[in-house]
Structure 1
Amino acid sequence: MAKIESFHRILETSKHIVALCGAGLSAESGVPTFRGEGGFWRTFQATELATPKAFKKNPSRVWEFYHYRRELVLTKKPNRAHKALVDFEKKVSSATPKTQTFTVITQNVDGLSSNIKNLIEMHGSLFRTRCTKCGDRGENRDSPIAPALKGTEDSQFDIDLPIEKLPSCSKCGGLLRPDVVWFGECLDNEILTKIEVELKRCDLLLVIGTSGLVYPAASYVSIVTSRGGKVAVFNIEKTYDADFEFIGPCGETLGNALMVNDSEDEDA
């Protein structure tokens, strides 16, 4: 009890709170991580497909993979942890006088945090596209994103669609790609600047559904702690000694820690 009361005191007195969210946040919604053992799609690992080289070599295969992921996520709903973050943001923004800020930085591309207003999607989104010809970006939640992809999510074999059947730009007709950060690509400079601004003023970092031990989370933790900020970790297992650790499913720990209603029955 002393731990949660101590955290609540820090939570109430912090001025700039940032949540860094990883795959564990969405795991309770049934979203696969495609990492580690069993992280295969057909016979491929995500690291083989989520690269510029793979897209250049076989855009049909890569789009089939992302179509599968889009269709899967469209069947999922935000869970109690997502809702807790939404409710906490509402609580902070409606407070009078306004004494706090709250920003969510997510490493996830599933769009399940889209109800957060002050959201930074550092790795992009499955539901945004970018034209490989003119660079136009846009949101797209069509199901399927291209008629020819319909049903390919159930196939165990490559369909090998021609480029003209793949998602195309409404402005120039060029081939679209998912607007996500692939392995080997750098994060968008504008996104990096936004993250840097938030971390440099952050006095309480909530690390949710990620270990906080690997890049970029580890560097973010260091930035906050070097300035005297506090770190609270919400994860399924113990990773390292943070100021506060809440071990267990995020849906069970986050709502109580943030002092918000975490009813299972309401949508985020």
Structure 2
Amino acid sequence: MIQDARIVAGFTGAGISTESGIPDFRSPGSPWMQNKPISFDLFVRDAKARREAWRRKFAMDDLYRDARPSQGHLAFASLVASGRMPAVITQNIDGLHQQSGLSEGQIIELHGNGTYARCLACGRRHELDWVRYHFERNGEPPECMACGGVLKSATISFGQAMPEEPMRRARKLAASCDLFLVAGSSLAVYPAAAFPAFAKDSGARLVIVNREPTPLDELADLVIHAEIGAVFSKFVS
């Protein structure tokens, strides 16, 4: 089915990264339950919450700092390199698609990126090593070096508005593809999970590869319940 497609839209969720050793939210005993993300509104208004958010952020980073792209990531990178897949839409924030060889223009990050920070006031990027050094040295997260604003991991937190440009790009790709390929997403988190159905309504075939059933399985043209790497390893070049 992939070989017959003219334009393939890739869509990835946590399942493609669990094979790299990064825990997802829903697994029993997930460390995310001990280090739950703090809501955006609380982060903005409460300095104590910001300190705790950064503590939890660095605790989670330490758990998967050695993670490397899985066979699934490498397969999607190969599909992009072939010219058949213009970009990968991802719900993930771990930066593994970048590590697999994709450029920023070939990745559409719906939930942001957890590998760096941005100032909420001026938008300046700050590297996490610098943020962590000052946080652990002073017990307080540093302010933006440009304007003194609040720094936050460049992810989309609960209660934070979805990023307009990635959402626009994802919708455009979903509307133009003739195959929408989902890998490792439970398709339970909206609005991101609306894109597969939108692509299907726009005339694309829908393929879902995930270990567990999803709410959109009945809509799909093909559903495979299996490990991502095992299914996609043949596409790695």
TM-score (norm 2): 0.85
Q: Pairwise mapping of residues 174-213 of structure 1 onto structure 2 (< 5 A)?
A: 174-212=149-187
**1:110 match:** 94
Q: Secondary structure at the match of 1:63?
A: helix
Of 47, 50, 53 in structure 1, the residue corresponding to residue 42 of structure 2 is 53
Structure 2: runs of 5+ lacking an equivalent:
none
The answer (yes or no) to whether the contact 1:41–1:65 under 8 Å persists in 2 is: no
Query: Could you say if the C-alpha distance between residues 72 and 192 of structure 1 is closer, same or farther in structure 2, counting changes exceeding 3 Å?
Result: same
Q: 1:30, 1:182 → 2: CA distance?
A: 22
More displaced, 50-59 or 241-250? Answer: 50-59
Query: Could you say if the C-alpha distance between residues 126 and 221 of structure 1 is closer, same or farther in structure 2, counting changes exceeding 3 Å?
Result: same
Q: Secondary structure at the match of 2:86?
A: strand
AA paired with 2:132?
Answer: A
Offset, 1:176: 0.9
Query: Could you say if the C-alpha distance between residues 225 and 127 of structure 1 is closer, same or farther in structure 2, counting changes exceeding 3 Å?
Result: same
**1:138 match:** 125
Offset, 1:149: 4.2
**1:246 match:** 224
Query: Could you say if the C-alpha distance between residues 213 and 222 of structure 1 is closer, same or farther in structure 2, counting changes exceeding 3 Å?
Result: same
Q: 2:60, 2:188 → 1: CA distance?
A: 26
Structure 1: runs of 5+ lacking an equivalent:
1-6, 93-99, 152-159, 262-268
Query: Could you say if the C-alpha distance between residues 148 and 41 of structure 1 is closer, same or farther in structure 2, counting changes exceeding 3 Å?
Result: farther
Stretches of 4+ aligned residues off by more than 6 angstroms: none
AA paired with 1:130?
Answer: R
Q: 1:214, 1:42 → 2: CA distance?
A: 17
Query: Could you say if the C-alpha distance between residues 90 and 44 of structure 1 is closer, same or farther in structure 2, counting changes exceeding 3 Å?
Result: closer
Query: Could you say if the C-alpha distance between residues 43 and 111 of structure 1 is closer, same or farther in structure 2, counting changes exceeding 3 Å?
Result: closer
**1:236 match:** 211
Of 10, 21, 45 in structure 1, the residue corresponding to residue 12 of structure 2 is 21
TM-score (norm 1): 0.76
Q: 1:55, 1:68 → 2: CA distance?
A: 20
Number of paired residues?
Answer: 228
AA paired with 1:215?
Answer: Y
Q: Secondary structure at the match of 1:52?
A: helix
Offset, 1:52: 2.7
Offset, 1:218: 4.1
Query: Could you say if the C-alpha distance between residues 207 and 42 of structure 1 is closer, same or farther in structure 2, counting changes exceeding 3 Å?
Result: closer
1:126 lines up with 2:117 in the alignment = no
1:260 lines up with 2:227 in the alignment = no
Query: Could you say if the C-alpha distance between residues 16 and 41 of structure 1 is closer, same or farther in structure 2, counting changes exceeding 3 Å?
Result: closer
- Give 1 or 2 for the bigger CA radius of gyration: 1
AA paired with 2:26?
Answer: R
Q: Secondary structure at the match of 1:13?
A: coil
More displaced, 49-58 or 109-118? Answer: 49-58
Q: 1:37, 1:106 → 2: CA distance?
A: 23
The answer (yes or no) to whether the contact 1:18–1:102 under 8 Å persists in 2 is: yes
AA paired with 1:105?
Answer: I
Offset, 1:25: 0.7
Q: 2:233, 2:31 → 1: CA distance?
A: 32
**1:96 match:** none
**2:199 match:** 224
The answer (yes or no) to whether the contact 2:24–2:32 under 8 Å persists in 1 is: no
Offset, 1:253: 0.6
Q: 1:16, 1:126 → 2: CA distance?
A: 29
Q: Secondary structure at the match of 1:86?
A: helix
